[in-house]
A and B are shown apart, each in its own frame.
Chain A
Amino acid sequence: MGMKFKERWETLTWTWNPKSIRESSDSVVRNLLLHWFPAKVSHKSLSYRYSLWLGTISAVLFFILCATGLILMFLYVPSVERAYPSVKDIGFVASYGGFIRSVHRIAAHLMVVAVFLHMMRAFLTGAYKNGLGANQNRPVNWVLGVVLLFLTLLLSFTGYLLPWDQLAYWAITVGTNIASAAPLVGDKIRFFLLGGNQIDQNTLLRFYVLHCFVLPVSVFLLFSWHMWRVRKDGGLASVDREAQKAKEKKSIPIKTKTYALLGITSGRTVAVESSYIDQDENLVESVPNLTGRVLFVALATALLVITLAFLIQAPLEEAANPLVTPNPAKAPWYFLWLQELVADTTVHLGSFTINGALVGGILIPALLGLLLAAWPYFDRSSTAATGVWFAKERRRQNLVFLAVIFAILVLTFVGTFMRGPSWHLYWPWQAWPPSPTRF
């Protein structure tokens, strides 16, 4: 009986614990969860130092968010009258409700950070550049990544409103007011976002549907496309770099094997250059080497999230009150660099005020966003700069990129920690004047 159980168990788990190289390759074909992995991966693509595993971390955070979000959907009521009380109930009486909400909140913040860092990593390593492989089109994947970054921000932003507290209400007020500064269509965009002229039931329902269905599904589809393109582009860009190095050494090409979708497709879509990618000494089986590492990264991410969620409770301020503006009213932190930019580009000339919302809130971020998405098409560096951290050839663009990032971080820091009531400057350690209470 015991043996029988063990055998049965092994038939269920063999794809995760193959006994031979053959079983390992087979497992990738047979298991739905493993099918997007190649049968074998290079040492280089498993490296922590190259990729920092930020894409995996982002994806893990996304799935944590989906899981916790699904639970919260059973408890949350997207109506102006019930939203705030239902979040109170989640915090005070739903079993583990407060913890699950904290996990959701922390993971959301971390996902913005992880996706942003992932974008930085891809830029600084020139990972959006094609290497030596056939049919590569990494710039497309970069554009997908930029869209995913934008969707991540939107996901976080739409989720921000749902608790319907003062923090939510006024952060969304600031955010959507910035959008209304767009020339010609600004007010229409705001009307469209809010479902009216002010933040009310229509806005809440819109943001809810966007947050719980439209955006997550979009992210999931684009994420799948993103992963599919990684496979189509021959894996991580660092592999191209290794291939290039190998080519420079002029190693003798060997007979090629291809794992490209197990030979179903014509051509060598996945392979980079046989001289490197097909040499067994550079490769290991994906199961368990890649799967093990993915599991480790996933668990480490989960551990970080739940530990933080255990220590830090998700905030919930007073119920939303359109008649009382908190001072200062701040956008979500990842948009504070924009709010700060708006404040800094607002010019007072005597009695005239030129509002910075257009320049600081629309033009500069739009320009930066477009430039970011289109950058691979401007980058003229050679394939030798593909998949290398701080390639010499790309030094100037990396410096400019880092300077822009630095500026964004400084503005975010100032907006988050140094702006007090009436948007006056305060040192982070300086106390703000106390805000009055009823008693």
Chain B
Amino acid sequence: MKRNWDNLGIFLCGAGILLVTILVYAGQFQPEWKGYQKQFRAMVLEKYGAARAQQVPSGPQQIWAKDLNRVDRCTTCHLAVGWKGFEDAPEPFRTHDHAILEKHPIETYGCTSCHGGQGYATDLDSAHATALANWEQPLLGKDVSETYAVSDWHMMMQMNCNECHRYDRKTPGAEAINEAKALVDQKGCRACHTINGRGGVIGPDLTYEGDKSTEQHDYSRLLGVQSEFGWHVAHFMEPTAMSPGTVMPAFGFTSHQAEVLSLLVMSWKRNPVPMQFMHGVKLGDFPTPEEIAKEKQMETGEGAFFVKHTCFVCHSVSTLGIESATNIGPDLANAVTDVPARFGRPLDDFLMSPTGTMSVVLATQIHLSPEERREAIAKLKIANQLLVQQQAKTGRGKKE
């Protein structure tokens, strides 16, 4: 029997097992966070002396935000969060802004509900999750901002503020979101989209747009980073480039505007946050009296026809009180005289068998029966009369 060979094998395998065990053991006792804790303790020692340095905790730290279903271990490395005097220290040793923590105590909110990232994790790559295939919510910080060349990295995080503050017109500190909300009003997004229960039905309801899963967008036309955020930005810049055939016009947004709008729509989620977290937060999106009056005028006034048939997406009909957010096409108030000037045909004839852009629009997106076309012509004639009257008034005014 080759008994000695077996014994040699037993000893070699035993040695191998011992070696791997030592490696595993060593790894367990040299985690990444231990270095950070040691470093922070030295910083506190230098600044405040030995007594305070002893107060620096050791071992994994966690915040269990039970009501938000979060376990955040970020403070294992970010130990300085609640300490004073490290406001200018480099991360992860920086003091957290105190004002915001006062309103959102870390013990109940945790970290990831605002910052994103993987709270469970205890190593940097897994926790920040910016290059991780298995975690959908990356840390909304500098790494992500760099990917999109966003000017101010703090704005990415404001998406999460708006999960609770969605009904605010303005949230202090969430400037990017405030800017996006102002754009929503300015550009009249509600003309086509329902948001928070108010708005039109021409485009999809956007109230819970943020709940769409990543896979629900078509990325085949998207260049660059294949992400939901990237898709929204590209879509805001040029809607037809992402969704051919869409009636949504290009509003000529700057890339910054497209970014803040993307953050806004991605923040619109069905909110799972318990009510006790919403203390003092506005819970309804109510229109101002002016907005109500304008909306009523648009929907029930003389020009309601042009809203109902979506003409107003591109055209204003100023004398009938219809304002287009985009003004892609000319004001239709003077269509009676403008159409012959442009196309060399009277309005009646043109609208019955249009040429150029309008032939495409009326063949594909806006379907008008002959009766409806006649109605449109009649309304446009009224609009023109009103215009003529206005001009006569102003003309008389000038004379006087």
| A-B complex is real | yes
Which A residues lie at the B interface, using CB under 8 A? 43, 46, 85, 88-89, 91-93, 95-96, 99, 165, 284, 288-289, 292-293, 295-296, 299-300, 302-303, 306-307, 310, 315-318, 321, 323-325, 327, 434-439
A-B pairs with beta carbons under 8 Å apart, 22 shown: A85-B120, A92-B73, A92-B120, A289-B1, A292-B3, A292-B6, A295-B10, A302-B17, A303-B20, A306-B21, A307-B16, A310-B24, A321-B213, A324-B215, A325-B215, A435-B226, A436-B214, A437-B136, A437-B227, A438-B136, A439-B140, A439-B229
Q: Write the nearest CB–CB distance from A17 to chain B, whole angstroms.
A: 12
A interface footprint on B7-46 (CB within 8 Å = 1, 0 otherwise) = 1011001101100110110001000000000000000000
Task: Check: B255 CB closer than 8 A to any chain A CB.
Answer: no
Chain B residues with CB under 8 A of A434: 226
A299 to B134, CA, bound (A): 34
Q: CA separation between A327 and B215, bound complex, in Å?
A: 10
Residue B300 lies at the interface, judged by CB distance under 8 Å to chain A: no
B13 cross-chain contacts in A, Cβ below 8 A: 296, 299-300, 302-303
**B120 shortest CB reach to chain A, Å:** 4
Docked complex: B284-298 residues within 8 A CB-CB of A: none
Q: Chain A residues near B28 (CB, 8 Å)?
A: 95-96, 99
In contact, B134 and A315 (Cβ under 8 angstroms): yes
With both beta carbons as reference points, the residue of chain A lying nearest to B144 in the complex is identified as A439
Least Cβ–Cβ distance between B237 and chain A, in angstroms? 17
Interface contact A437-B10, CB-CB below 8 Å = no
Given contacts A307-B20, A435-B226, 12 further A-B contacts (CB under 8 A): A92-B73, A92-B120, A93-B73, A303-B17, A306-B20, A310-B20, A318-B134, A318-B136, A323-B213, A324-B213, A439-B138, A439-B140
Q: Which residues of B contact A316 (CB under 8 A)?
A: 134
**Residues in A whose Cβ lies below 8 Å from that of B126:** 92
**For residue A293, which residues in chain B have a CB less than 8 angstroms away from its CB?**
6
From the candidates A91, A92, A302, A438, name the one contacting B138 in the complex (CB within 8 A). A438
Interface assignment of B323: CB less than 8 Å from any CB of chain A: no
Q: Which of A85, A95, A295, A300 contacts B71 (CB 8 A)?
A: A85
Kindly identify, within residues 103 to 126 of chain B, every residue whose CB is under 8 Å from any CB belonging to chain A. Answer: 120-123, 126
B147 at the interface (CB under 8 A from A): yes
Most-contacted residue by chain B among A88, A289, A295, A436 (CB, 10 A): A436
The smallest C-beta distance from B142 to any residue of chain A, in angstroms, reads 13
Whether B243 sits at the interface, judged by CB under 8 Å, is: no
B73 and A292 within 8 A (CB) = no
Contact indicator per residue, chain B 266-296, by CB within 8 Å of chain A (1) or not (0): 1000000000000000000000000000000
Would A439 and B1 be within 8 Å (CB), given that A85-B71, A88-B120, A310-B24 are in contact? Answer: no
Q: Which residue of A lies closest to B147 (CB)?
A: A439
Closest to B159 in A: A439
CA distance A306 to B17 in the complex (A): 8
Contact B3 A289 (CB under 8 A): yes
On whether A299 and B3 interact (CB within 8 A), knowing A93-B122, A436-B226, A439-B228, the answer reads no
Q: Which of A43, A324, A438 contacts B228 (CB 8 A)?
A: A438
Bound-complex Cα distance A438 to B160 (A): 13
Rounded to whole Å, the gap between the CB of A281 and the closest CB of chain B is 12
Distance between A194 CB and nearest chain B CB, rounded to angstroms = 23
Q: Which residues of A contact B6 (CB under 8 A)?
A: 289, 292-293, 295-296
Complex Cα distance, B217 from A436, in Å, reads 9
Chain A CB within 8 A of B173 CB: no
Q: Write the residues of chain B forming the contact surface with A, with a CB cutoff of 8 angstroms.
A: 1, 3, 6-7, 9-10, 13-14, 16-17, 20-21, 23-24, 28, 60, 62, 71, 73, 120-123, 126, 133-138, 140, 144, 147, 156, 213-215, 217, 219, 226-229, 231, 266
Q: What residue in chain A is nearest B132 (Cβ atoms)?
A: A437
Roughly how many angstroms separate A323 CA and B28 CA in the complex, as a whole number?
37
CB of B22, distance to nearest CB on chain A (Å): 11
How far is B2's CA from A34's CA once the two chains are assembled, in angstroms?
Answer: 21
> A310 contacts B226, CB within 8 Å?
no
Complex Cα gap A327–B216 (Å): 12
Q: Which listed residue (B3, B16, B122, B137) contacts A92, Cβ 8 A?
A: B122
B3 CB contacts on chain A under 8 angstroms: 288-289, 292
Q: Which 5 A-B pairs have the closest CB atoms?
A: A299-B13, A88-B120, A296-B9, A436-B226, A303-B16
CB distance from A230 to the nearest CB of B (A): 21
Q: Which of B9, B14, B214 sits near A437, CB closer than 8 Å?
A: B214
Q: Are B17 and A436 in contact (CB under 8 A)?
A: no
Instruction: Using CB atoms, name the residue of chain A closest to B216.
Output: A324
**When the two chains form their complex, are residues B60 and A93 in contact, meaning their CB atoms are under 8 A apart?**
yes
- Most interface-central of B13, B28, B140, B213 (chain A CB within 10 A): B13
How far is it, in angstroms, between the C-alpha of A92 and the C-alpha of B17 when the chains are bound? 23
Which chain B residue lies CB-closest to A103? B24
Find the A residue at minimum CB distance from B137.
A438
Most buried by B among A299, A316, A318: A299
Indicate whether A296 sits within 8 Å of B20 (C-beta atoms), given known contacts A437-B227, A438-B229: no
Of chain A, the residue at the smallest CB distance from B227 is A437
Tell me, rounded to whole Å, the shortest Cβ–Cβ distance linking B299 to chain A.
35
Per the bound structure, the CA–CA distance linking A321 and B211 in Å amounts to 13
Q: Is the CB of A292 within 8 A of B20?
A: no
Complex Cα distance, B215 from A321, in Å, reads: 12
Distance of A343 from chain B, by nearest CB (Å):
21
Interface centre among B126, B133, B147, B215 (most CB of A within 10 A): B215
Contact of A96 with B24 at beta-carbon distance under 8 Å, contacts A302-B13, A303-B13 already known: yes
Chain B residues in 8 Å Cβ range of A300: 9, 13
Report the Cα distance A310→B25, complex, angstroms: 11
CA distance A99 to B27 in the complex (A): 10
Most buried by A among B6, B9, B156, B214: B6
Q: Which of A299, A318, A324, A435 touches B135 (beta carbons < 8 Å)?
A: A318
Assembled-state Cα–Cα distance A317/B137 (Å): 13
| Chain A residues near B140 (CB-CB < 8 A) | 439
Return chain A residues, CB-CB under 8 Å to B21.
306
Q: Nearest CB to that of A436 among chain B residues?
A: B226
Please indicate the chain A residues that have their CB under 8 angstroms from the CB of B14 in the complex: 299
Given A96-B24, A296-B6, A315-B134, verify A439-B227 contact (CB < 8 Å).
Answer: yes
Whether A299 contacts B17 in the complex (CB less than 8 A), given A96-B28, A323-B213, A437-B136, comes out as: yes
For B116, the closest partner residue in chain A by CB is: A439
- Asked if residues B10 and A296 are in contact (CB atoms below 8 Å), the reply is yes
Point out the residues of chain A lying under 8 angstroms from B137, CB to CB: 438
Chain B residues near A96 (CB-CB < 8 A): 24, 28
Q: How far is the CB of A286 from chain B (nearest CB, A)?
A: 11
Report B316 CB to chain A, min CB distance, Å. 37
CB distance from B58 to the nearest CB of A (A): 14
